[in-house]
Chains A and B, each alone.
Chain A
Amino acid sequence: QKEVEQDPGPLSVPEGAIVSLNCTYSNSAFQYFMWYRQYSRKGPELLMYTYSSGNKEDGRFTAQVDKSSKYISLFIRDSQPSDSATYLCALAPPTGGSYIPTFGRGTSLIVHP
């Protein structure tokens, strides 16, 4: 079993839809959860960062962590064509260990007008 599982998609939605992107993981030691957005021909950029369980909201984006289920989600409300990109989840262990995150393989999102 891979440490981080992420459906590569593509996920195609109409403009204005609510998008749900997800990752599952197997290592219960992960405590830091990140979402990166990568546009075509660009490097990934950090979009959301959460520590431990719970929700975090930033504008149209909400990150959710369910540690009991080892499941993390990124919700995008009122999706726009400019949200079309690949979204990568990244997970990292807590303080004291080697921080280097483990990445999912990314989900390609297409928002069509």
Chain B
Amino acid sequence: ETGVTQTPRHLVMGMTNKKSLKCEQHLGHNAMYWYKQSAKKPLELMFVYSLEERVENNSVPSRFSPECPNSSHLFLHLHTLQPEDSALYLCASSRGTSGGRNEQFFGPGTRLTVL
């Protein structure tokens, strides 16, 4: 595997379900991100981890719970979601979160549908 991988690629869940999204980066990066992408809207930054410490949490509802057990893996735990949470969830990684050229590399995303 190379780059940033995400599983599952598609997920359909009911509002009472609990599920988790997984992201893995094979780039040796120290920072990982979760974004939400909805139609015709800018990417919404949800969470940022740098060296496994959460450095940013953009007022995301508590029904989304991130976990970063090491610098290569990132999870997004989902519970009691709402239909408006249906979107493409993108994981990204970068060398760090500050200092110089530091572009993000994205995974293919998980298409989430909440019924």
Contact = CB atoms under 8 A, between A and B. Distances in A.
A101 B101 contact: no
Nearest to B102: A99
Given A100-B48, A103-B42, A105-B40, A43 B109 contact: yes
A69 to B, nearest CB: 21
Given A34-B103, A88-B43, A100-B48, A43 B96 contact: no
A99 B106 contact: no
Contacts, number: 63
Given A43-B106, A44-B90, A45-B106, A32 B43 contact: no
Given A46-B103, A96-B98, A104 B109 contact: no
A98 B92 CA distance: 16
Interface string B77-115: 000000000000010101011111111111111010000
Counting chain A residues whose Cβ lies within 8 A of the other chain, the interface size class is 20 to 34
Interface of B: 4, 6, 33, 40-43, 45, 48, 55-56, 90, 92, 94, 96-109, 111
